[in-house]
Structure 1
């Protein structure tokens, strides 16, 4: 049986390693930290959450819920760790970062089939007796980026991702804020900082005049001098100053949207609002939801302290923007995540063109199973197109290559209902329920088929 090499200790890599080991394979898991760090990581921990601490919605029959339900049915190790380290977050699944990483580390350490090697991998030499899963994430080292360019023969794209600020909970003026969940959906776990029109105008003026951080060389798009305000940002994770640049009220319809957040002190929605989400189990820190930015730290201090309730806040971490790298998957990847020209090399996680923590873990789950099938001399079976996993794989391998951008899981990616059924069922929630029901049925059948192979392999 072939051995499996997994490169990358973020989210996709550990999940892939644990899945492959569960499928009866011996795995070597490589992670270059702490020997060499990245521009965004702060620790050498497995599964470090660099940006927010949220794994998105748990609302029944939503697309993120469907993806997580499929993952739970497939025995996702990292999602189980997330469930076990969850913190209050309304209808979303958010985790204590430190607790989450510790649980993932324990799973890896306790697995006798996984060997951890702390060193930087700089080449992807192919061996007949080895399957490689590359899950080095959006900040893949220059050496491996060069290797990917060599193997794929194509230029890699780049976009800018982000980190939201974190504030010390004890320094929030609780007299000016209130707890609420949007539309009273889920528990009221978010702290809401309400703005009047005058406060919002003052905030926008300050934000619009704030000075940005000059882009470092590693942030620039390869082969160009594009940076800062001219950067090619990922549309799903724009910095707040970029959103504000697109229109004075744009933030009020984005991360500062007040709809459904009734202020109990006034009985009305505020003019705008900033939401704070609990960062850890101790509830001693909160992150500013959607408030990633590329401003100098001193400018962040000036601007963010204009938020009602944060006038005297102590910020434990400032917002950041960093460049992410991903491959042009439609041109080089199969639906089982293998490079077309190099079928023993699989690409997983954000490097493959999925966006988001949950999506990255899901990609690792599939890569681990596909790699295990290859290691056992079998042909991997793609995830069913109708499922959330299959829809993600279909997107990254069938999108228009020229305009390919990473994607989160959404209903837009899932197979739509038949036109006659869509016309018959006008209620969107009911249509989504049917889509989820169909997806889970197909997913369960796929799991049954692949689990039979696992039983044979382990035996």
Structure 2
């Protein structure tokens, strides 16, 4: 079976590698390319590499019996190619799985180059219909080109939705004043891999006033600044009240300063960008301010007075389809089953979720290549719950979602009444989900002779 995968971000390479190992021939298309010696990029990408992580470098929690951990455990059981690479390129990040961006992308490219069933084509796709492929997996992500967005709109018969994400700044590690900061992990989860910049009340008030007065970057005429609630810029959060940031990205809970024994009024956390620890990103500090304003305001943070910024925060478009109306439980277009959507354009939010749906699309393609109708991943699993949400949510108010326990099926009422401890209930939900995923995956392995 020959399939086409469109998009070289996270979901696309995962779908291509999964489908290839299950017997499919794959043409992998990516529009970012070198043209006449110059890179052709999107408004947010900085390279032409596969799997470039545009925002943070974190694939979220690795704490046992959390929803992000559960999703990753299911993916590991199914042999997710990109998650394996993430594990192998991990950098210390407390209880989170964070990766070295450059090495992560390099290893993805290496895996694709070493897979003879995958043929890479560096050009923009503008037409979805094709007689050359039995199946097309659309994984063009949040930065889908204007021309291809119009094609998706044409083929689906419905408008697509858009919101806007912002990118966190990155600072040079050598420019951080280490005398003013300390290492710790919030709530002592994992190792103390985060640099913490503590603020007293006066420092916080001065920072907040400067942030509220800072000038925003000019918006493009196509922007309507409809932000995703789960990824709001810090300047937007700041307008919601003087303590909003202290209860959000600057929450000091569990970050007692070992030098004073006191809990700061607020804290800014920095996370490693790579194994060398020569750069750090400001966790949760995505913003849409002018670069000069960012430098002025962020240098009010203790320890960053002389910070050298390797990248400033930016805004970028995030495009996604109305999956509850358009997709079936196999991520296929209801009106054109030969077209499958995966990754953020399908309505999931987050790196891990994007990889997971790419993996699922590849598994379904493998089943079809073996002459079998695929079996839907069970609702009671993390991956199944994620797919159930994007295909069954209220279409009127549909927004992309990360994996959370709210999406998973609750325990039976009798069990909930008996087990009062929340952590124990989560453990039981995870155990049940892993059993269901394991049984489903065992059946898929038989179907595709994997």
TM-score with structure 1 setting the length:
0.96
Q: Which residue of 1 aligns with 2:353?
A: 359
Specify which of 310, 329, 338 is matched with residue 335 of structure 1. 329
Structure 1 residue 129: Cα displacement: 4.8
Q: Deviations over 1:83-111 (max 9, x none)?
A: 00000000000000000001110100000
Contact 1:131 1:375 in 2 (8 A): no
Equivalent residue, structure 1, for 2:56:
52
Q: Distance in 2 between matches of 1:25 and 1:157?
A: 32
Report the 3-state secondary structure (helix = DSSP H, G, I; strand = E; otherwise coil) of the residue aligned with 1:217.
coil
**What are the equivalent positions in structure 2 for 1:31-430 lying under 5 Å apart?**
31-34=30-33, 35=35, 36-127=40-131, 129-218=133-222, 220=223, 226=224, 231-430=225-424
Question: In the aligned structure 1, how far is the partner of 2:298 from the partner of 2:51?
Answer: 29
- Equivalent position of 2:443 in the other structure: 449
Alignment match, 2:5 = 6
Matched residue of 1:233: which SS?
Answer: coil
Matched residues in 1 for 2:146 and 2:23: separation?
33
Q: Is the 8 A contact 1:50 1:163 kept in 2?
A: yes
> CA contact under 8 A between 2:370 and 2:448: conserved in structure 1?
no
- Superposition deviation, residue 382 in structure 1: 1.1
In 2, the alpha carbon distance for the partners of 1:155 and 1:119 equals 25
Q: What is the alpha-carbon distance in structure 2 between the residues aligned to residue 310 and residue 128 of structure 1?
A: 55
- For residues 273-323 of structure 1, the C-alpha deviation after alignment (integer angstroms, 9 at most, x for no partner) is 000000011100000000000000000011000000000010100011111
* Structure 1 stretches of 4+ moved >6 Å: none
Name the SS of the counterpart of 2:141 in structure 1. Answer: coil
Partner secondary structure for residue 369 of structure 1: helix
Decide whether the 8 Å contact of 1:346 with 1:371 is kept in 2.
Answer: no
> What are structure 2's unaligned runs of at least 5 residues?
none
In structure 2, distance between residues paired with 1:154 and 1:25: 30
Structure 1 residue 435 displacement after superposition: 0.3
The structural deviation recorded for 1:157 is 0.8
DSSP 3-state at the match of 1:249: coil
Q: C-alpha distance in 1, partners of 2:365/2:445? A: 14
Per the TM alignment, residue 375 of structure 1 is displaced from its structure 2 partner at its CA by 3.1
Deviation at 1:266, TM superposition (A): 1.1
Distance between the aligned counterparts of 1:168 and 1:125, measured in 2?
46
Q: Supply the distance in 2 between the matched residues of 1:323 and 1:145 (Cα, whole angstroms).
A: 12
Q: Which stretch of structure 1 is more off in the superposition, 145-154 or 255-264?
A: 145-154
Aligned to 2:219, the other structure's residue is in SS state: coil
Following superposition, the deviation at residue 263 of structure 1 comes to 0.5
Aligned to 1:223: none
Q: Supply the distance in 2 between the matched residues of 1:189 and 1:11 (Cα, whole angstroms).
A: 26
How far residue 183 of structure 1 moved from its aligned partner, in angstroms, is 1.4
In 1, distance between residues paired with 2:133 and 2:156? 21
- Aligned positions, number: 445
What secondary structure sits across from 1:354 in the alignment?
coil
CA distance, structure 2, for counterparts of residue 335 and residue 190 of structure 1: 39
Q: Secondary structure at the match of 2:237?
A: helix
**Within 2, Cα distance between the matches of 1:423 and 1:68?**
29
Give the conservation status (yes or no) of the 8 Å contact 1:173–1:310: yes
Q: Is the contact made by 1:41 and 1:48 (CA closer than 8 Å) also made in structure 2?
A: yes
SS at match of 2:108: helix
TM-score (norm 2): 0.98
Partners of 1:87 and 1:280 within 8 A in 2: yes
The residue that corresponds to 1:27 in the other structure is 26
Contact 2:372–2:447 (CA under 8 A) maintained in structure 1: no
Please tell me whether the aligned partners of residues 126 and 344 of structure 1 are also in contact (alpha carbons under 8 angstroms).
no
Question: Contact between 2:49 and 2:109, CA under 8 Å: does it hold in 1?
Answer: yes
Question: Structure 1 regions of 5+ residues with no counterpart?
Answer: 221-225
Deviations 1:12-48 (A, max 9, x none): 0000000000111111101111154210000000000
- Once the two structures are superposed, residues 353-408 of structure 1 have per-residue CA deviations (whole angstroms, 9 ceiling, x without a partner) of 00000000001000111122223332121111000000000000000000000000
RMSD, aligned α-carbons:
1.0
Structure 2 CA distance for aligned equivalents of residues 24 and 386 of structure 1: 28
Question: 1:82 is paired with a residue of what secondary structure?
Answer: helix
